[in-house]
């Protein structure tokens, strides 16, 4: 049986700041040695060369080493997933997950938050965009589910991943071994890596049958409703964090999910919050949340039709500002308006993640409760 979870959202005061994580540990809210995952937004460009992710990663791992008893090598194994780019009003922040001793958690038999993580086998440059990567991701998702104590895929509400993308060096490596890569456009490889990973998640959870190579990035009817995939230069494996609910572990938190049908679909966000267990009025306002929403996690994508609700937009034709940044700012504003908080996790490049032109939404809420005994 997995242990109960404590989860907190904290601001980043600068790209190298981990002071709020240190404060949670110093105040006894979290134990450094029990931190099992971090998912956050940094203020870089969100592109191939976004090194703010590496800077933030180092800052958080240094705090966990300094304030705990785990070695540097042990702390390196903790999944810390950074999504670069806080376009528009999105505020840099991190959501920190830690286990609790059973006697420190609210006791309940209702479904409560659980987290499992895993690392896939090494993903070669030539795997990206192909069945080999789908299979490696799917295997790691199943391992993470097992570690979370989840047996029914319906209890998985959010799968956050970080996977490698292609760089000039890795493309050169593949060629030196006589291999061909899916694309030599390194920026395009970000979308490709995310999309392939999402298909691996969908396969593992039984949302789709395993697709063929020629369906990757092309058959947009295939998607996962719970996948949130990011990619970067930091690693050569798929880093998998599975978040769901199980009964019997106790705790205060619960997660739910839904999808946004398009970039303006506020109802999709509210539906995810309701699915997590909050009772809300028919037409809710962020004041109805009463501080019980920990965070929302969204993926977004410019609609390939070039329109939203039958109104044409110019995102995909804009040569000055890449559509990645425009759609992220748009959906970030929608999510912040719903939650009343600009510290929302919004990530771009969502092919095969939610319906085309929309994206998946996960919400974690605090259902409260008191300790017994």
Specify burial of residue 281 (Cβ count, 10 A radius: 0-12, 13-18, 19+).
Answer: exposed
Statement: residue 140 has pLDDT above 90: yes
Half-sphere exposure of 220 (CA within 13 A, CB side): 12
Token match 């369906």: residue? 215
Query: How do beta strands 345-348 and 253-260 pair?
Result: unpaired
Q: Who contacts 334 (Cβ-Cβ below 8 Å, separation ≥6)?
A: 263, 264, 265, 266, 269
Statement: residue 372 has pLDDT above 70: no
Q: What percent of the chain has pLDDT over 70?
A: 99
Statement: residue 293 has pLDDT above 50: yes
**Among 230, 231, 271, 347, the one annotated catalytic:** 230
**Among 9, 67, 162, 299, the one annotated catalytic:** 162
* 351-362: average pLDDT: 97
- The question of whether 9 is a catalytic residue gets the answer no
Is-contact 124 36, C-beta < 8 A?
no
- Band of residue 371 on the pLDDT scale cut at 50, 70, 90: low
Statement: residue 47 has pLDDT above 60: yes
Is-contact 192 316, C-beta < 8 A?
no
pLDDT, tens digit, for every residue of 86-106? 999 999 999 999 999 999 999
Q: Who contacts 159 (Cβ-Cβ below 8 Å, separation ≥6)?
A: 141, 144, 201, 205, 224, 226, 227, 228, 240, 241, 242, 243
- The question of whether 230 is a catalytic residue gets the answer yes
Q: What is the CA radius of gyration of the chain?
A: 19
Helix (H, G, I), strand (E, B) or coil at 50: coil
Global pTM reads 0.95
Q: Who contacts 310 (Cβ-Cβ below 8 Å, separation ≥6)?
A: none
Statement: residue 373 has pLDDT above 80: no
* 168-190: average pLDDT: 96
């Amino acid at each position: 049986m997995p242990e109960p979870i404590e989860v907190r959202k904290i601001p980043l005061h600068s790209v190298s700041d981990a002071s709020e994580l240190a404060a949670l540990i110093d105040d006894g809210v979290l134990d450094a040695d029990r931190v099992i995952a971090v998912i956050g937004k940094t203020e870089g460009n969100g592109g191939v060369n976004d090194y703010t992710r590496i800077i933030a990663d180092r800052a958080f791992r240094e705090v966990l080493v300094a304030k705990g008893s785990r070695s540097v090598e042990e702390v390196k194994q903790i999944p810390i997933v950074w999504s670069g780019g806080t376009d528009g009003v999105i505020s840099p922040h991190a959501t920190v997950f830690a286990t609790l001793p059973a006697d420190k958690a609210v006791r309940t038999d209702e479904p409560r938050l659980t987290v499992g993580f895993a690392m896939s086998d090494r993903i070669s440059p030539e795997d990206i965009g192909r069945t080999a990567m789908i299979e490696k991701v799917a295997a790691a998702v199943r391992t993470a589910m097992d570690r979370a104590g989840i047996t029914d895929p319906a209890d998985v509400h959010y799968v956050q991943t970080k996977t490698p993308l292609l760089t000039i060096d890795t493309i050169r490596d593949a060629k030196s071994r006589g291999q061909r890569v899916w694309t030599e456009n390194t920026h395009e490889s970000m979308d490709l890596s995310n999309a392939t990973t999402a298909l691996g998640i969908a396969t593992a959870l039984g949302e789709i049958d395993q697709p063929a190579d020629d369906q990757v990035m092309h058959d947009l009817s295939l998607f996962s409703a719970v996948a949130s995939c990011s990619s970067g230069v930091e690693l050569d494996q798929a880093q998998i964090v599975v978040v769901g609910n199980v009964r019997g572990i106790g705790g205060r938190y619960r997660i739910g999910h839904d999808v946004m049908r398009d970039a303006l679909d506020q109802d999709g966000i509210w539906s995810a919050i309701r699915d997590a267990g909050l009772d809300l009025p028919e037409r809710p306002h962020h004041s109805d949340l009463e501080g019980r929403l920990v965070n929302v996690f969204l993926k977004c994508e410019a609609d390939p039709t070039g329109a939203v609700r039958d109104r044409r937009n110019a995102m995909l034709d804009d040569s000055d500002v890449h559509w990645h940044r425009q759609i992220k700012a748009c959906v970030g504003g929608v999510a912040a308006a719903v939650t009343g908080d600009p510290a929302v996790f919004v990530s771009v490049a969502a092919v095969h993640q939610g319906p085309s032109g929309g994206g998946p939404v996960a919400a974690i809420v605090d259902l409260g409760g008191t300790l017994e005994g």
